[in-house]
Amino acid sequence: MLAMRRKDTGGFVSAGSIVIASRFNGPPDSANGGYACGLIAVATDASVGVRLHRPPPLEVPLLVEPTGPGRWQVRDQAEVVATAVETDVRLELPEPPDYLQALDLSKHYVGFEAHSFPTCFVCGPERRAGDGLRIFAGALASGSGVAAPWLPHPSLGDAAGKVRPEFVWAALDCPGYFALSAGNRPAVLGELAVHIDRLPPVEKPCVVMGWLMESSGRKYRAGTALYDEDGGALARGIATWIEIATPS
């Protein structure tokens, strides 16, 4: 059974249910997709890929229930919000820039100029330090993706001082979007699968990377990865993004 998490640290998980606190928004009225997927993963206590069927609501109890071996469904009453399936994340990782290089890249984050959701918990420039993650991914000179520095705030940690898994999932969300779109192609997160090798300690420098893997029509697959200060892999993710059709 999963223990209840105090609300003052954010969203919480109890046996069979989750609540996503309003702090963890992406768009103003729904959850950041990576954080929502991560909280669902915590509730399943398994290595999963999560598919979002609708924007995850905030401050609403969501039922997480098994539907078969290695499968779960997340519901807001009768409405399906997400499904999760046990998944093996296989991903070849690129060599990351070091922390200082990533810090320099972040100065050129396109979200500083224009941002669809400037209060996004992960990448919103209007979120203050200690509130949002403030992961500002800038383009690599090679054009092969984006990278950002991340210094996890102490409020993101567990009792052992390690970043909680749902925040690792969140950190691996938005860099994938900026890798595929440079912020100028509106898209929504459809699926996210994450494997965590090691949880990073809070207040230790990390680097997050994102890169485009493939695209077909309005569907894009992006890889993301989290590294420690020495370039060691901490976590990796594969996301599917769906470009929002705009009127012609």
**Residue 115 lies in domain:** 99-243
46 located within any domain: yes
Q: What is the mean pLDDT of the chain?
A: 92
- Which residues contact residue 247 at a Cβ distance below 8 angstroms, ignoring those fewer than 6 apart? none
DSSP string across 112-154: GT--S-TT-TTT-TTSPBTTB-----EE-TTSS-EEEEE---G
Shared domain for 118 and 230, answered yes or no, is yes
C-alpha distances in Å from residue 15, one per residue of 3, 42, 136, 171, 183? 7, 11, 34, 25, 37
Question: Which of helix, strand or coil describes residue 52?
Answer: strand
Q: Which of 86, 120, 136 is the C-terminal boundary of a domain?
A: 86
Shared domain for 57 and 123, answered yes or no, is no
246 pLDDT more than 90: no
Q: Which of 86, 119, 146 is the C-terminal boundary of a domain?
A: 86
Shared domain for 159 and 203, answered yes or no, is yes
6 pLDDT more than 60: no
For 175, list phi and psi in degrees, rounded to 5. Answer: -55, -30
The continuous run of DSSP H or E covering 203 comes out as none
Shared domain for 77 and 167, answered yes or no, is no
91 located within any domain: no
Q: How many domains are there within the chain?
A: 2
Q: What is the CATH number of the domain that holds 159?
A: 3.10.129.10
Tell me the pLDDT tens digit for each residue of 140-179: 999 899 999 999 999 999 999 999 999 999 999 999 999 9
As a whole number of angstroms, the distance between CA 104 and CA 98 comes to 10
Higher model confidence: residue 243 or residue 99? 99
pTM: 0.93
Shared domain for 118 and 193, answered yes or no, is yes
